[in-house]
A and B are shown apart, each in its own frame.
Chain A
Amino acid sequence: MQHSFIDKYADRDSILHRLDPRVRICLFLLLIMAAVATRAADFFHLIELTVLLVVLAALSRIPIGFILRRVLVVSPFLLMVVLMAPFLDVKNPVTTLRFSAAQISVDTRLVIAATVFVKSLISVVSVILLLNTGRFTELLKALQKLKMPAALVSILMFIYRYVFIIVDQFQRMLAARKARTFSNSRKQQYRGLPQIVGMGFIRSSEHAERVYAAMLARGFDGTVRTMSRLRIGSCDIVFGLVMAGVILLIKLG
């Protein structure tokens, strides 16, 4: 499976990379929450939050092209609101946007489309930054420390551990079937698909049994224990508070 985009920039060095993952998670969560909770009239808060996000992206030293490519992958969903905007039935045809002392009136449908689009964009870019400024496993450990149920976090770790193996398995089966398909007809090309899914299920079940047996043989008792070197330092707290302060200022201004 082509998975080089995952954790590709996780080992780089930047302010965000050195931040404790818990602080990073809280920071980006706060940013997304601030964006999502913005009313239409405060559209310019969203612009300011976007500027902050751009600053954070620059601080992260992750190539802008990479970020844009990841955004492109999910862009159809982001554009949904923009495409459906002309069909909206709104109560007030015009909305007044406030910017410090100034005010401008804009077509409400445009405001809704722009607001939702920017909010979803901020969310997507935040998640991309969050993921690429550290190891995935550290992110999961941070989630556990932030009180996500331990069983669920362990399951997520296992998915991360085995998904590449299983996807490769599927790709081999699909390639093998393609190699045996001598027909151009659409029906023939998709004929063996359910059987491949079924076979994948059987293989994964047997694999899971073997993995479980191996874990038992190493003393597994039901709880997954991993080493965690997460430590919050004063730098993390300072950075976190500064960013939170900026976000608060934006929301109040």
Chain B
Amino acid sequence: MHIPDGYLGLKTLIGTGAVSAASMAWALRRAKAALDQRLIPMMGIMAAFVFAAQMINFPVLGGTSGHLVGGALAAILMGPAAGIIIIGSVLIIQLLLFADGGVFALAANMFNMAVIGVIVGYGTYRVVCRFIEGKKGIFIGSMMAGWLSTVVAAIFCGLELAVSGAVAPSVVIPAMGLVHMAIGVGEGLITAFAVLFVLNVRPDLVATAKKVRRPFTVREIGIGTGVAVVVAFLLSPFASSFPDGLERVAEKLGFDHMAAASALPSPLTDYTFPGVASPFLKTALAGLIGTAVVFVLAAIIARVAVRKTSREPN
């Protein structure tokens, strides 16, 4: 996922560069406050560890092999600030030692892997841990964190390449997304089982395990669901009809005409319920049904996942 020089335009580089630099500065300050004198030896050696771990490859879809990025792993084991510093440093070392990734493109590569990958991974982990408590939550959270961080980072990479004008958006975004959804499975599994291993052998080393807050109660979940239903039913008909971010970019860059009709049959196309005259009810019912379906699906998946890990020997 390391973008070389020559692909990205100035605006992309400046935008991603500013965010990367600011994030790195924040992360260094935050880590210095937490680690004080141990900052440099600790971050240096743990970054060397992530660098070494990245060299491990695993099979993806039988044909190719994927590599661990380690953003989610670093963030879960050592905190998000450490994650940003470590992945950022590893990217710089890879550039200097292997010429992997461009010098100016470092801005975008850091943004994708060190910032987005780490933050998305950590955020996913924390959210899941609030819903499922204990080791189960940490395990599932780590798995989803590993997967999501890889996929989202890859999508951002694809978007940056698409905006650059050097590669066709209709090829690069699906290619990056799909390939990394497959690689993300490996990353998720390795992250989850590695975190579980460390949790069993040296739980004191998992910095974020201590910070896990108590899971949501049934009352809180009920209130949350209630709010979601109200918003979906009453407020969704008033949603803005202006094009969203992606549609706007597509119009501007001229690839919106490539949008094809959906490959799968959809009962509620464009968020409207068929056969209802009132424009308010059209959208409201679609919103309500969508919310209900997502809730049921999520509940089923959570049930199955929790039951599966409770059969784990540890």
B166 touches A162 (CB 8 A): no
Q: In the bound complex, do residue B201 and residue A202 qualify as a contact, i.e. CB atoms below 8 Å apart? A: yes
Within 8 A of A (CB), among B27-66: 28, 32, 36-49, 51-53, 55-56, 58-59
A207 surroundings in chain B (CB, below 8 A):
45
Question: Which residue of chain B has its CB nearest to the CB of A115?
Answer: B6
Quick check: is B102 within 8 A (CB to CB) of the other chain?
yes
Q: Which residues of chain A in 77-111 are interfacial with respect to chain B, using CB atoms and an 8 Å cutoff?
A: 77-78, 80-81, 84, 87-89, 91
Q: B45 and A204: CB pair below 8 A? A: yes
Residue B144 lies at the interface, judged by CB distance under 8 Å to chain A: no
**Whole-angstrom distance from the CB of B205 to the nearest CB of chain A?**
5
Interface string of A179-190 (1 = CB under 8 A from B): 000000010001
**Interface with B: A11-19, A163-171, A237-245, which one?**
A163-171
Bitwise, B87-108 to A at CB < 8 A (1) or not (0) is: 0111011011111111110000
Cβ B41 vs Cβ A131 within 8 A: no
- Decide: B168 and A222 in contact? CB cutoff 8 A: no
Interface bin, chain A: 35 or more
Known: A87-B171, A198-B194, A201-B198. A158 touches B37 (CB 8 A): no
- Among the stretches B120-128, B185-193, B226-234, B268-276, the one at the interface with A is B185-193
B22 in the interface (beta carbon within 8 A): no
**Is A73 positioned at the interface, with any CB of B under 8 Å from its CB?**
yes
| Contact of B28 (CB < 8 Å), options: A29, A151, A161, A186 | A151
Q: Does A120 contact B (CB under 8 A)?
A: yes
Could you tell me the distance between the alpha carbons of A169 and B5 in the complex, rounded to whole angstroms? 33
Inter-subunit contact B5/A36 (CB<8 Å): yes
Answer yes or no: A235 CB below 8 A from chain B CBs. Answer: no
State the CA gap A230–B158 with chains docked (Å).
41
Asked if B119 is at the interface (CB within 8 A of a chain A CB), the reply is no
Please give the distance in Å from B45's CB to the nearest CB on chain A.
4
A155: which of B6, B77, B85, B195 is its contact (CB, 8 Å)? B85
Contacts of B295 in A (CB 8 A): none
Contact with A along B1-13 (1 / 0, CB 8 A): 0111111000000
Q: Decide: A202 and B96 in contact? CB cutoff 8 A.
A: no
- Beyond A74-B4, A123-B103, is A194–B197 a contact (Cβ under 8 Å)? yes
Do residues A186 and B194 form an inter-chain contact, with CB atoms below 8 A?
Answer: no
For B254, what are the chain A residues with a Cβ–Cβ distance below 8 Å?
A: 89, 91
A81 to chain B, nearest CB (A): 5
- Complexed CA–CA distance, A116 and B109 (Å): 17
CA of A161 to CA of B15, assembled, Å: 33
- Chain A's closest residue to B1 (CB) is A77
A215 at the B interface (CB under 8 A): yes
Q: Contact residues of B with A, CB < 8 Å?
A: 2-7, 24-25, 28, 32, 36-49, 51-53, 55-56, 58-59, 68, 73, 77, 85, 88-90, 92-93, 95-104, 165-168, 170-172, 189-198, 201-202, 205, 254-255, 258
A residues apposed to B, CB below 8 Å: 6, 29, 32-33, 35-36, 70-71, 73-74, 77-78, 80-81, 84, 87-89, 91, 112, 115-120, 122-124, 126-128, 131, 136, 139, 149, 151-152, 154-163, 165-167, 169-170, 174, 186, 190, 193-202, 204-205, 207-208, 211-212, 215-216, 220-222, 224
